[in-house]
Amino acid sequence: MNRYPTWVNVLVLVICVAGVLLALPNFFGDDPALHVSRPDGTPVQSEALERIASTLGEAGIEYLSSEIEDNAALVRFPNVNAQLRANDVLREAMPDHVVALTLAPRTPAWLAAIGLKPMALGLDLRGGVHFLYQVDVNAAVDQLLANYESDLRAQFRDARIRAQLRVDNGQLLVTLQDQADVARAEEIIRKLDEPQQVTLTERLIVERAQVGGRPGFRIRPSEAMIRERQDFAIQQNTITLRNRVNELGVSEPVVQRQGLDRILVQLPGIQDPAQAERVLGATATLEFRLVDLENDVYDAASRNRSPIGSELLPCAESIYDSPYCAPGQDGRRYTLLRRDVIASGDMLTDATPGYSQGRPAVSVRLNAQGGRRMLDTTQSNLGRPMAVLMIEETPRIVERGGEQVIETSRRERVINIATIRGVFSSNFEITGLTPFEAQDLALLLRSGALATPIFKIEERTIGPSLGQDNIKRGRNAVIAGFLAVVVFMVVVYRMFGVIANIALLANLMLIVALMSLLQAALTLPGIAGIVLTLGMAVDANVLIYERIREELRNGNSPQASIKAGYEKAFSSIADGQITTLIAGIVLLAFGTGPIKGFAVTLCLGIVTSMFTGIVVTRVIVNLIYGRRTQLRRLPIGGRVSSATA
């Protein structure tokens, strides 16, 4: 007799019911909608909803509902035409807000209340933003030469060699004051890269030359070094952009190198393209410095002149009332900081936004070097004010002399001044920020700095309406593939084919349920993976049913044939599915973009098809035929479907 214990039947039923429940939010569809937010990240107030309603009413545009969701206004529309018209009207009427096209799921409140939501959709299905960035690879070489310049300057000073150094047109020029120092200077230059176990001549080309009428050297990187440095810059920028995208919380983003010096970024379902562009392209770092108390900040600000050893820097508006900020000639307020940097952004190991005593703050952690320097400073400067200087660099393309060149704008501002009340080292907090500034600052600091500037050369916004067309086509492909398999199985295997089709439907339901549970983004290649899985899912049943037919032809009883069919076909099924699963895991681990989307549904489909093809069909077969003691015939098709019991 073919019977499973009751608990096995109940467990399979529970899994299938849970799958239906998890997949349910995907069957209610989406509404065309508009996402209206403030560019500074502050919450949208109820007045904005009234403004939206009056604007749409005056324009005669019908909408379904409007509500505040996640600090932004979400307005639903009955169709895409109304959505597009409203988008144009609201963009014009509300220039102080960011209006973005989106899709809002129609998930019922009772499903949302228990935390269920539809699966995430990729860029090609949901819409989103596509950026293509150009990496300034020449700046990477200039940065490297600047590092060599700094190192050589320090070593020449220690060796008491008088020299002038400057980076000019892709080479480092060294001018010596004394001809007798040439040999010693060359020895120092050629030892710069010794810790890297690489001979300098392979990386840098060092030539003795007359520079400015004096003895010196021309140092330029070799072609191999230029390529190495440029590759490093692009790889580092790709990693940094990927970290920043992950901090934005975008599901299944694409960040990958394209060509020699470009990086592709795709953000599915992004609601605020302006914020994404600002976060991706900006470079933010911090410097901790002591406030200059020896000089008069009011005198320096009024004359716009910094004393020796100090620097006059603008104050953020949030600290304008600080006694260390004085009005300048342009109406802004400035403060005086010592030029010596206590710790800088490259010493940060973590940065987390939060609140301190009810005020927005960023909790900062320094590495060992930064912690030691901060400890020494706070021990010797108790009662003195220390400032936090924020530096942001944003590249842009400008036209000069008919040519496009990269220009980096640098914005410096003191965001916090606090008196050192106690001794601390690695862990402390930065205050004086708005909630939006705290989140952005923590994100940029945590994700790291860009190795070289990048600038946007292409931006495309893919609207949800195009995604809806892709969803419709993908749905049609799944339905067509499903029906084709259903018809084939019924024609070839009769009632057992119907059982296989029930398991196939359960398989599809479980794939959707797992995608929803894991919030793995579904893409067009992912839909292709589902269609492929549907075709492969019945392979297990074909092997089992053919084995049952063979047992019947050998004269075995129907009950014995069912048992032998499932048991003897299992090893072949497992071997075939495991090898395919290994290939899917490799694609998932090393693939990006479309390949990864395909691999996700393929791997999930293999796991669910093993369960439904073997366990679910066996449960159904056992329930229908397992208790029949006088079973003489199996409706499984073929030339032999009956035998002596």
- Rounded Cα gap, residues 148 and 229, in angstroms: 14
* Class of the CATH domain delimited by 6-24+463-625: mainly alpha
Q: Which residue has the tokens 């920020």?
A: 433
Q: Which pLDDT score is estimated for 313?
A: 92
| Surface-to-core class of residue 456, CB atoms within 10 Å of its CB (0-12 exposed, 13-18 middle, 19+ buried) | middle
Architecture of the domain spanning 138-223: 2-Layer Sandwich (3.30)
pLDDT at 353: 80
Residue that has been written with the tokens 């410097």 in this structure: 287
Which CA distances in Å does 588 have to 121, 168, 240, 397, 562?
17, 46, 21, 37, 37
Nearest-10 crossing angle of helices 617-625, 464-518: 70
Six-digit token string for 216: 């010196």
- pLDDT on residue 200: 42
* 9-12-15-18 Cα dihedral, nearest 10 degrees: -50
Element (H, E) at 190: helix 182-190
Position 201 scores a pLDDT of: 45
The first and second tokens of residue 229, run together, are 């440095």
Residues 643 and 639: their CA atoms lie apart, in Å, by 12
| Strand 326-327 with 333-338, pairing | antiparallel
**Which residues in the chain land under pLDDT 70?**
1, 39-41, 192-203, 246-252, 269-279, 281-285, 345-346, 393-408, 432-433, 437, 440-441, 443-451, 463-468, 592-593, 638-645
Would you state the pLDDT for residue 199? 42
In angstroms, what CA-CA distances link 500 with 520, 540, 571, 617, 632? 27, 9, 19, 6, 21
Cα-only R_g, the chain: 34
314 vs 291: CA distance, rounded Å: 13
Alpha-carbon gap, residue 615 to 265, rounded angstroms = 42
Q: Could you tell me if 500 and 549 are in contact, meaning their C-beta atoms sit under 8 angstroms apart?
A: no
Tokens of 529: 């993976």
**CATH, domain range 31-105:** 3.30.70.260
- CA 497-503-509 angle, to 5 degrees, is 140
Please give the structure tokens belonging to residue 16.
């299938």
Rounded CA-CA distance 138/218 in Å is 18
What's the pLDDT at 159? 84
Exposure pattern of 600-630 as b/e (b: 16+ CB <10 Å)? Answer: bbbbbbbbbbbbbbbbbbbbbbbeebbeeee
Q: Which tokens sit at 83?
A: 């959505």
pLDDT digits (tens, 9 = 90+) for 387-435: 888 877 666 666 666 665 656 677 888 888 888 877 777 777 777 667 7
Sheet containing 98-105: give its strands across: 65-69, 72-76, 30-37, 98-105
pLDDT score for 510: 92
pLDDT at 641: 53
Q: How many CA atoms lie within 13 A of 26 on its CB side?
A: 24
Q: Between the CA of residue 572 and those of 489, 508, 541, 568, 585, what are the distances in Å?
A: 20, 23, 12, 8, 20
Domains 31-105 and 138-223 share a fold: yes
Distance between CA atoms of residues 358 and 415, nearest Å: 18
Smallest CA-to-CA distance from 442 within 529, 345, 559, 319 is with 345
In the chain, domain spans: 6-24+463-625, 31-105, 138-223, 284-433
d(CA 498, CA 321): 78
Q: What is the pLDDT of residues 63-120, one digit of tens each?
A: 888 888 877 888 899 887 888 888 888 888 888 787 877 778 888 888 888 888 888 7
**Checking DSSP bridges between strand 454-462 and strand 427-431, what pairing results, if any?**
unpaired
Instruction: List the one residue out of 196, 193, 198 whose CA is nearest residue 151.
Output: 193
Q: Which residue has the tokens 């090893």?
A: 571
Where would I find the H helices in 304-409?
368-380
Residue 222's Cβ-count burial label (10 Å; 0-12, 13-18, 19+) is middle
User: Taking a C-beta distance cutoff of 8 angstroms, is the pair 283, 310 a contact?
Assistant: no
Look up the pTM and report it. 0.59
CATH architecture entry for 284-433: 2-Layer Sandwich (3.30)
CA dist 528 and 599 (Å) reads: 10
| Per-residue model confidence as pLDDT tens digits over 316-350 | 887 888 889 999 988 899 999 998 888 876 677 77
Q: Compute CA 108 distance to the chain's CA centroid, rounded to the nearest angstrom.
A: 29
Residue 335: predicted pLDDT: 93
For residue 31, the Cα-to-chain-centroid distance in whole angstroms is: 26
Residues in the chain: 645
153: CB partners within 8 A, 6+ apart: 163, 165
